[in-house]
Amino acid sequence: MKAQRITVRYEGRVQGVGFRYTAVSLAKNLAVTGYVKNEFDGSVLLVAEGAEDQLMELLSAIRRSNLGKYISNELMRRSAATGEFMSFAVRH
């Protein structure tokens, strides 16, 4: 399967609730690479690359986790994977 990239901006009360570290933990169980980071406007940005099913599983796992109650909006955009990531990690 051809790798894809998704970029997701999570809005709501998503900072200060363990969002980044939970996302990394969930991603480690899947074949995805990329990063998650806090943005200055209070949102969290997630960039992930992998197969479609793995990417959708990551998004579903985030929604099903304790983080789901903090998300008020999720803005996703797709693009071609670049292959630039070796793992999935927190960026500062």
How far apart CA 54 and CA 60 sit, in angstroms, is 10
Sheet with 71-80, strands from edge to edge, namely 71-80, 4-12, 44-50, 32-38, 88-90
- C-alpha span between 14 and 40 (Å, rounded): 12
Which of the residues 5, 9, 29, 38 is marked catalytic?
Answer: 38
Whether 38 is a known active-site residue: answer yes
What one-character DSSP code corresponds to residue 59?
Answer: H
Q: Per the residue annotation, which of 5, 20, 66, 77 is the catalytic one?
A: 20
What gap in Å lies between CA 37 and CA 28, rounded to an integer? Answer: 16
**Which residues are known to be catalytic?**
20, 38
